[in-house]
A = this chain, B = another copy of it.
Amino acid sequence: MKVLILGADGYLGWPTCLYFSQRDHEVIGVDNYFRRNAAIELDCESLIPAANLHQRSKIWEEITGRKIKVHIGDVTNYEFLLSIFREYNPDAVIHYAEQPSAPYSMINRDKAAFTLQNNLISTLNIVYAVKEANPECHIIKIGTMGEYGTPNIDIEEGWLEIEHKGRKDKFLFPRQTGSLYHTTKIQDTDMLWFYVRTWGITVTDLMQGPVYGLSTDECDLDPRLMPFFHYDEIFGTVLNRFVVQAVAGYPLTVYGKGNQTRGFLNLKDTMQCVYLSATQPAERGQLRIFNQLTELFSVNQLANKVKQIGDKLGYNVKVEQIENPRVEKEEHYYNIAYSGLLDLGLKPHYLTDEILESFFAIADNYKNCINRNAFLKGIKWK
């Protein structure tokens, strides 16, 4: 299979390139280094310095003999994207090329406008490039569980049949988010659904929960192949941040009461989910939606787990409830259907003590590189 990976330099994009490449697929990786540049601008770079995408792909080739083709360019530039589609004619395109941070989207007007424009124009361009170059190309899009927010009803897998005044119809599950970034993901889904109905394109939209971890079988082959390790308020997901805070002797920053519950998954499981989606594609003209998570935790539960393991390893971890910078419910109902990817063959890596300990070991290796100013950047929703 020929797979075009957009956002190939990212936390998920890079390990995805390796995962497909290792399994004998032809991988073309595209990135515009947005994340690297934004992390420099905002002083919250990855804990582990990463070689650029060309260099990393050479390291991969050196170790495995496998080639990943790399193009540096911006997916919001349609001529560029279309030229890539025409050159390679991929069977599947995996779209990670979005501004992925909720806090980033709430910094100011310019960052909000960038998020809107980048995320929606990139998705639109992919739809048009697929239509022009190869309408059979399967679009795999990373959505977010955040699209649903925290409704007071059970969250189904993408769709809901509604009965109203004795009549029925099926709709996208109702969605209301907690940030402008998450709102762009709702907007993406609505736009993809329109073009699926109108043009018969083929889309899998993966409603992913927060991902944690750094280890995949491929990344573990060489330290130079590790993905970005963001642990800051802007680009770091919560568990990654907590582990680094624990190692740094910084209190774990729990927002508000900490009873906010989300669905999490290990980086290894993101790899599986995307791979299973690509190799068992949606039907032609279908918008297929999966809820991509393996287990639920509240923020307090995660903090307690990190404290427990951290204390055992001798870090003397403190947990601190700080004023919530976000506008979100701190107590809410949360019950989610997520059987679709399990049915495709996902074998979850649950958050065991061993996994958490190995994660501490990685962070400890880079202890001296931790920038304590990155934990709290002072971005507030209001």
Q: Which B residues touch A298, using CB under 8 A? A: none
Shortest Cβ distance from A15 into chain B, in angstroms?
31
In whole Å, how far is A279's beta carbon from the nearest beta carbon of chain B? 29
Question: What residues on B are CB-neighbors of A152 within 8 Å?
Answer: 167-169
User: Using Cβ atoms and an 8 Å threshold, which residues of chain B touch A187?
Assistant: 120, 186-187, 190-191
Query: What are the residues of chain B within 8 A of A121 when measuring CB–CB?
Result: 113, 116-117
Instruction: Determine the distance from Cα of A78 to Cα of B169 in the docked complex, in whole angstroms.
Output: 41
**In the complex, what residues of B have CB within 8 A of residue A168's CB?**
152-153
CB closest chain-B residue, reference A186: B190
Judge whether B172 and A164 touch: CB under 8 Å.
no
Mark contacts of A181-225 with chain B using CB atoms, 8 A cut-off: 1 yes-contact digit, 0 otherwise.
Answer: 001001100110110011100000000000000000000000000
Q: Is A23 interfacial (CB-CB < 8 Å)? A: no
Bound Cα distance A121, B184 (Å)? 12
Min Cβ gap A217→B in Å is 39
Q: Count the A residues whose beta carbon is within 8 Å of the partner chain — how many?
A: 46
CB nearest to A180 among chain B residues:
B194
Within 8 A of B (CB), among A231-256: none
The answer, yes or no, to whether A344 is at the interface (CB within 8 Å) is no
CA distance A186 to B153 in the complex (A): 22
Q: Which residues of B contact A117 (CB under 8 A)?
A: 117, 120-121
Docked complex: A126-175 residues within 8 A CB-CB of B: 128, 151-154, 160, 162-165, 167-169, 171-172, 174-175
Residue-by-residue, is A104-121 near B (CB-CB < 8 Å gives 1, otherwise 0)? 000001101100110011
Whether A169 contacts B153 in the complex (CB less than 8 A), given A124-B113, A191-B180, comes out as: yes
CB pair A109 B78 closer than 8 Å = yes
Given A154-B167, A174-B171, are A194 and B190 also a contact pair (CB < 8 Å)? no
A-B contact pairs, 5 of them (CB 8 A): A117-B121, A154-B167, A160-B164, A177-B194, A199-B382
- The residues of A with any CB-CB pair to B shorter than 8 Å are 78, 109-110, 112-113, 116-117, 120-121, 124-125, 128, 151-154, 160, 162-165, 167-169, 171-172, 174-177, 179-180, 183, 186-187, 190-191, 193-194, 197-199, 327, 333, 381-382
